[in-house]
Amino acid sequence: MGISLRNSLVAVLTFGGGAALLFILTFIHINQGNVSIPMATVIDAIFHPTDTLAHHTVRILRLPRAMMGILAGGALAVAGVVLQTVTKNPLSSASTLGIHSGTYFAVVASTVFFPVALFGNGIVVAFLGGIGTFFLVYILSGGNHASPVRMVLAGMIVTFLFSSLTSVLQIFYENETAGLFLWGSGTLVQNDWSGVQFSYPFVIVGFIVILAMSFKLDTLTLGDDVAIALGQNVNVVKFISIIAAVMLTSVTVSVVGPIGFVGLVAPHIIKLIGYRKHVPLIIASFIWGGNVLLMADILARVIDPSFSELPVGAITALIGAPWLIWLVLRMKRTQYGEENASVIAGKATSAMSLKVILPVLTGLIIIVMFVNLASGNYGFEPVLMYQAFFGDSNEFMKNLVIDLRLPRAIVALTSGMVLAVSGLIFQGVLRNPLADPSVIGITSGAGVGALMTMFVFGVSAFWIPIGAMIGSFVFFMVVMLLAIRAKFQPTILALLGIGVSAFGSAIIQILVVKSDLGVAAALTWLSGTTYAKGWTEFTHYLIWPIVIIFPLLWLRISLLDTLSLGDDTAKGLGLRVMSSRFQLAFLATVLAAFSVAAVGAIGFVGLIAPHVARLLVGPSNRRLLPVTILIGGLLLLIADLFSRTLLAPNEIPSGIIVAIIGAPYFLWLMKRKA
């Protein structure tokens, strides 16, 4: 077969086949619903409409939804093409760079505080949130010098931050944001043509602008220096392209919510076919983006034949997360080199003596514990707290301090310790100081296991923590299999963790919507909370890791120092590298599972505590372990104090407090290292 004939056949299949598939999926999509409508009636409703219920159902409800799917999928795919070209990052999309989380937060915040700004479906607010988030991620990750890993990790941390802030608003303003949860998961539901009529002019303008810039985008792929030598104003080209891409993203978010991974999957389908020039790449991506989103919406209604509306964003994540994992695994090692994916490994500036740092940290814990026990809805009351323990206090105050505040504070302290050690072990095993149970998907798996226990199997509350443990172990096995496949390359593992977490989060979204769980209750549990925790959680889940696993790790902690020397050196020293990694990672998973069973999915403790400890006492893991334990406990104890007192008598989940503290800290460190 000649090259020209082959190219013609590929073009016919890509464009003609893609358009034909889009046509077929549109008809399948239109025919889905609570009431089955014959195909002949669907065709008549489109081409020869009459004033009948069936025709109105097709033309006013089903056809607008299908058209919105094509517009949104195409727009997100084209935006993904631009983001990948401008950032020189094949993993870029509106979801991986945090743009979706920024637009979602902007819309939710405006709904609560500035509803007048939500004119025009809130597109202005969504656009400002999206463009601000992109530039934040772009600058913090190093701008033109950012590596793919650094940029995606910055996007991940920004996503954590905005998701936490959004959860706070949804918890405390449940009535104002009641209709935003399903929309926030992505949904194509349309009640008329208003969404299509609003969005299509923006999509057409954005598409034309990007198409007009396509030849200049081709030169960007050659490198900035070459593009400048060819007479391009690189900064102007990037700015216009990004504005157009974010506008396409914003208009889709304003109508259908943040739908992730379409901008990652569709462009890569076309690139795998062989297209690199932007004119065919943009056109084909638009067609196949529509196909991906329509197929996801069809699949959502096949999975749930009751048509209670599964979020299509969760389905695209179920499709896109494995795609991201596969994409990362097939990339050559040379694309990442030997860059330390952690970006912020943290070196000791003055290795402090343990004789100094351990008493200081212990003293801080005692002080925070005292403040915690003495603080409540009526402010700081140390005298009443003292009387509850040692004086003649009334029964109410004794119960409040001794039976409620004290066990809750101990649960927060010990959970923080357990999470911190889990993070330390994962960082050492995976050679990546950004590894953490929440980052690599372990806590996501625990959330899946707990929710499935509650709403799929319908067993008693006693089994929920056990379900969380089972889910975390299943996801642990997936992560370890992927880690073995990736040969434990830190950069690859950081990205694989994002994919695994996204997959788990998608399942959680589906379960929350299917179970009709109250939004505030779901977000509170999923964010991690120490609310109403007491001696039961401590004795059932937290005392055993401290009594059994901590001493065991103390005996084996030197293995992490050997692993940090590299696999070849470790093998030369007689260490069974794979076996040691698996054993230590298993213990770290057990720790994370016990913590999730006790307080839910709290992130960032396992990131922050080991890093701060490393800054204080250096890289030796035998010195790091006790310092990490104390810092982790102190951190979650402070978060528990703030969760009770900042907006008293209302409570903020402790996990959200930690994320709001931790995300800016890590973003600042990334900027400092950029």
Partnered with residue 673 across adjacent β-strands are none
Q: What is the per-residue pLDDT across 581-610, written as a single tens digit (0 to 9) for each?
A: 888 888 888 888 888 888 877 878 888 899
CA–CA distances in Å: residue 283 to residues 19, 26, 267, 464: 11, 18, 10, 48
Closest-CA residue to 524 (of 106, 172, 109, 186):
172
Give the contacts of 601 (CB within 8 A, at least 6 positions apart). Answer: 438, 443, 444, 446, 447, 526, 527, 528, 655
Q: How far apart are CA 288 and CA 294, in angstroms?
A: 10
User: pLDDT at position 567, please?
Assistant: 72
Give the contacts of 312 (CB within 8 A, at least 6 positions apart). Answer: 69, 186, 187, 188, 256, 259, 293, 296, 297, 300
User: pLDDT at position 628, please?
Assistant: 94
pLDDT mean by block of 10 residues, the chain; 674 residues: 72 89 89 73 76 78 88 94 88 86 89 80 85 87 72 82 82 72 76 87 93 89 82 86 91 87 89 88 94 90 69 85 82 48 46 86 94 80 77 74 87 93 88 76 82 71 75 86 76 76 83 63 66 84 90 87 77 79 85 84 85 87 92 93 82 83 75 59
Q: Residue 345 has what DSSP assignment?
A: -
Q: How far apart are CA 178 and CA 170, in angstroms?
A: 8
Partnered with residue 51 across adjacent β-strands are none
User: pLDDT at position 338, please?
Assistant: 43
User: pLDDT at position 348, please?
Assistant: 47
User: pLDDT at position 383, please?
Assistant: 77
Closest-CA residue to 281 (of 83, 461, 422, 464):
83
Record the pTM: 0.81
- Identify whether the C-beta of residue 418 lies closer than 8 Å to the C-beta of residue 577: no
User: pLDDT at position 72, please?
Assistant: 93
Please count the CA atoms within 13 angstroms of the CA of 240 that sit on its side-chain side. 16
User: pLDDT at position 430, please?
Assistant: 78
User: pLDDT at position 3, please?
Assistant: 66
Q: Is the peptide bond before 649 cis (omega within 30 degrees of 0)?
A: yes
Q: How far apart are CA 151 and CA 220, in angstroms?
A: 18
User: pLDDT at position 393, please?
Assistant: 67
Residue identified by tokens 């944001």 is 177
User: pLDDT at position 351, please?
Assistant: 67
